[in-house]
């Protein structure tokens, strides 16, 4: 069985959840990052370097993290567009999909039934650990711990085991025609830069594929001028990997600039995918430093 995990920290390659599936014998590809905006799932679903894992998958599992249950309604609304398109893309794949609503993801945020209703709309399998804990009166037991956002290993490995054993019981999505999905594109640096002849680039193997990494240092900049074929497209997010060659607390930033706007986007000190919170269209140049 081949499984793809979408989500954040609980769906990373070294997570207990991924470990649980591997112990069952499943070939597991984990696309999760420690920090990932709502467009991060779309980035992975469309990335050419890893699309074979999506095509070959027997099961795709999307775990909802705490960032999708904010108390601030403006933040919640900002997440909806990316998540809505993620659901549409997953439906179009016509593979078995499981959406997991973890109890700890909702614990300190604002509960919403949006994700459950969307799962019913598209015919996805929905596992609601939050409502289960409330029904069984064990919610406080599992959240009143030192680090409730990172539960004990047993919860993840047991969930993986149960899902694996009941694979045949999960349904395929509804077939929905005429889904409106924008023309999403992903862009790797080696598509627009001659990385082989640039000493600042290093090839390194990630848990999914080989990456061309630009080694940032203090006050070092990389300026990108995007090809004309990307003009008039919007930039939705940036993939960063600062802890690959840098010190633990090294952070960087990305500047998006055209003749109308100049936007600074902070990139965390670990591998992440950061959503662009502004409506930015590629017109002339894109500067990353």
CATH of the domain at 74: 3.40.50.1110
More confident residue, 237 or 149: 237
pLDDT value of position 284 = 60
In this model, does residue 80 exceed pLDDT 70?
yes
State the average pLDDT for the chain. 86
Q: Is residue 117 part of a domain?
A: yes
| pLDDT tens, position by position, 7-27 | 888 888 889 999 999 999 999
What is the number of H-type helices and E-type strands within the chain? 9, 14
Q: Is residue 180 part of a domain?
A: no
HSE, side-chain direction, 13 A CA sphere, residue 90 = 30
Q: Is residue 195 part of a domain?
A: no
| pLDDT tens, position by position, 237-270 | 988 877 666 566 667 788 888 888 888 888 877 7
Are residue 13 and residue 146 in the same domain, yes or no?
yes
List C-alpha distances in Å: 208 to 45, 48, 84: 13, 12, 25
E strand or H helix at 20, and its extent? helix 16-24
Are residue 109 and residue 222 in the same domain, yes or no?
no
Are residue 148 and residue 280 in the same domain, yes or no?
no
HSE, side-chain direction, 13 A CA sphere, residue 232 = 3
More confident residue, 156 or 251: 156
| pLDDT tens, position by position, 59-79 | 999 999 888 888 888 888 888
Residue 12 CA from chain centroid, whole number: 10
Q: Is residue 203 part of a domain?
A: no
CB within 8 A of 160, min separation 6: which ones?
A: 17, 18, 19, 20, 21, 23, 24
pLDDT value of position 130 = 92
Mean pLDDT, residues 108-132: 94
CA torsion sign for 57, 59, 63, 64 is positive
HSE, side-chain direction, 13 A CA sphere, residue 183 = 5
Are residue 150 and residue 226 in the same domain, yes or no?
no
**Which ranges of 40-180 does DSSP label H, i.e. alpha helix?**
40-46, 51-56, 73-93, 103-106, 114-122, 129-135, 139-143, 153-165
Are residue 160 and residue 254 in the same domain, yes or no?
no
Are residue 161 and residue 278 in the same domain, yes or no?
no
Containing structural domain, residue 260? 218-288
pLDDT value of position 200 = 75
Single out the residue of 221, 236, 238 nearest to residue 273, CA to CA.
Answer: 238
Q: Is residue 198 part of a domain?
A: no
Instruction: Say what the pTM is.
Output: 0.87
In this model, does residue 163 exceed pLDDT 80?
yes
In this model, does residue 177 exceed pLDDT 50?
yes
pLDDT value of position 42 = 95
Q: Is residue 194 part of a domain?
A: no
Query: What's the structural domain count of the chain?
Result: 2
């Amino acid at each position: 069985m081949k499984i793809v995990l979408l989500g954040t920290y609980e769906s990373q390659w070294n997570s207990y959840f991924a470990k649980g599936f591997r112990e069952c014998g499943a070939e597991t590809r984990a696309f999760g990052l420690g920090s990932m905006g709502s467009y991060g799932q779309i980035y992975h679903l469309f990335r050419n370097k890893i699309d074979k894992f999506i095509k070959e998958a027997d099961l795709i599992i999307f775990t909802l993290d705490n960032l999708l249950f904010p108390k601030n309604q403006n933040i919640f609304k900002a997440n909806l567009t990316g998540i809505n398109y993620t659901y549409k893309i997953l439906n179009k794949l016509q593979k078995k999909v499981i959406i997991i609503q973890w109890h700890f993801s909702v614990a300190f945020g604002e509960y919403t039934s949006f994700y459950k209703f969307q799962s019913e709309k598209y015919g996805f399998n929905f596992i609601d650990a939050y409502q289960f804990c409330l029904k069984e009166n064990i919610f406080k037991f599992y959240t009143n711990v030192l680090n409730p956002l990172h539960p004990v290993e047993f919860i993840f490995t047991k969930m993986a085991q149960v899902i694996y054993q009941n694979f045949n019981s999960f349904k395929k999505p509804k077939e929905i025609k005429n889904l409106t999905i924008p023309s999403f594109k992903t862009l790797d640096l080696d598509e627009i830069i001659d990385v082989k002849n640039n000493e600042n680039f290093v090839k390194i193997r990630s848990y999914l594929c080989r990456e061309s990494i630009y080694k940032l240092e203090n006050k070092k900049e990389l300026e990108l001028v995007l090809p004309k074929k990307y003009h008039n497209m919007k930039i939705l997010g940036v993939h960063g990997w600062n802890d690959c060659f840098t010190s633990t607390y090294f952070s960087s930033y990305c500047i998006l600039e055209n003749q109308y706007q100049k936007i600074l986007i902070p990139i965390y000190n670990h591998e992440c995918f950061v959503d662009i919170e502004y409506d930015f269209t590629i017109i002339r140049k894109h500067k990353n430093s």
